[in-house]
Every structure is written in C-alpha cells, then in structure tokens.
Amino acid sequence: MKTKNQKNRNLTITKKDTFNGLSIYKHENGLVINYLDKIYNTIDKAITEYPRTMVVRVDLRMSKSLLFDNSSVIKNFIASLDSQIQADLNRKKRKGIRVRACKIRYVWVKERSTSLSNHYHLVLFFNKDVYHCLGDFKNEDNLSHKIKKAWCSALDLDINEGSRLVNFPNNGVYWLDKNSRNFDDDFDSLFYRASYLAKLETKKYGNGMRSFGCSLR
C-alpha cells in the first residue's frame, strides 16, 4: 500500500515489509519511499566506486545552547570531516606511504520528538582500504575522533564540550565487499538498518527546512 504524506505531497509512504526485494524496517506510520530510493542509490554508488566499503551509523545531537539549527550544520560537518581525512592522506603521502582516495558518501535525517532540539541520524560511507574501523574511542588519531571533531567544528564547540553529543550505536559498523560470498547478506543487513532513517515519524516538514539529505554523487 502506498499513500501520500499529507504534510508533504511530494513524498510517498509505504507500509510494506520490503523495498526492491529487500527487507525494511517496519513502522506503523510507514516509511518514505523517496528516502528509501535515495538510501539504496547511495549505497550502490559507494560500492561501485569502492568495492570494499566501510559503513558507519552515527547519531549527532545539538547543544542545549543551540536549540534550533540551520540547514548548513550537516554541510559543515561533512566539510570538516572531509578536510580532516584529506589532511590525513596528505600527511601519509609526504611520509612516502602509499594512500588511496577516500570520498565520503552519506545519508542523514533530522528528527525531533519530545525534546526542544533536533537530532540527526547519519550513515557514513568510507573506502575500507583507507579506514576499516572507528578505532579506540580514547585515541585522538582515528576515525571516531575525526567524526567527533567534525561535529564540534560544525557547532563551533570545543572538542571537550561537544564530543559527548556524538553517539555511535551498538553494532553500527558494516563492511561490504563485492567479492565476498557474504555480500548479498551484508548488503541486506545494512539496508534494513539504514531503512530506519526513512521512517515518517518525528520528522518535521514546512518552513523550508529539510528533514533528509544525501550525497549527490
């Protein structure tokens, strides 16, 4: 069954259990087909460029001093994270270390339930031949720290103050390898987890503010 979202007539809602033959998160208010399609395409683009891809789920919260964010906060977050990654690769090049490219792809949703501030759910995609894990959370020279630092930069907060606003959910790292015999199962598992971002509930529409976004290329 497909219906139109009454708050945004450009969005179509599904209450089915599958999308493109893949299992999806079940929610009583349904999932947005437009979002599911973009999530699927983002995953496909990532593994097309990087057959070995690492995927990270992360939740980002706003500071209490910044109850209402603007549309540029995620853009600034991605820009900061990309800048750190390119700087990391350039440092390794100068040391004579062979490095591979690492373009970030992403999907994000903005939600708000009972709190006064928004929060974000993201799925981030990296070249697994460059980053294969988040690293020790206590270490300041790994991917998890770069993600925390990027969010603090987007909010203009000190790392010691803002790192607590970043949460890495349990079992939130996925590895896709197109040459693996487990690829189909791994893809299905990731898409099911990522489909949660397409749920209609807790998203706000109107006032020209976006509730969903993804990398375009």
Q: Judge whether residue 5 has pLDDT over 50.
A: no
Q: Calculate the CA dihedral of residues 8, 12, 14, 20 and round it to 10 degrees.
A: -140
Domain residue limits at 99: 35-63+71-197
β-strand partners of 54: 126, 175
In a domain, 155, yes or no: yes
CB 135 within 8 A of CB 144: yes
Residues 36-91: pLDDT tens digits? 999 999 999 999 999 999 999 999 999 876 655 666 899 999 999 999 999 999 99
3 state DSSP class of 144: helix
In a domain, 187, yes or no: yes
β-strand partners of 126: 54
Q: Where are the alpha helices (DSSP H) in the chain?
A: 33-49, 72-94, 143-155, 159-162, 183-194
- For residue 43, give the nearest of 142, 202, 184, 144 by alpha carbon: 184
Q: Which residues contact 104 (CB under 8 A, 6 or more apart)?
A: 78, 81, 82, 85, 124, 125, 126, 215
Q: Judge whether residue 8 has pLDDT over 70.
A: no
Burial class (CB in 10 A: 0-12, 13-18, 19+), 163: middle
Residues 9-35: pLDDT tens digits? 678 999 999 999 999 999 888 999 999
In a domain, 117, yes or no: yes
Task: Domain count for the chain, please give it.
Answer: 1
- For residue 145, give the nearest of 135, 156, 153, 155 by alpha carbon: 135
Give the amino acid at 208: G
In a domain, 18, yes or no: no
In a domain, 207, yes or no: no
In a domain, 206, yes or no: no
Q: Judge whether residue 2 has pLDDT over 60.
A: no
Q: Which residues contact 49 (CB under 8 A, 6 or more apart)?
A: 103, 127
In a domain, 16, yes or no: no
* 0.85 exceeded by pTM: yes
In a domain, 210, yes or no: no
Residues 102-120: pLDDT tens digits? 999 999 999 877 666 789 9
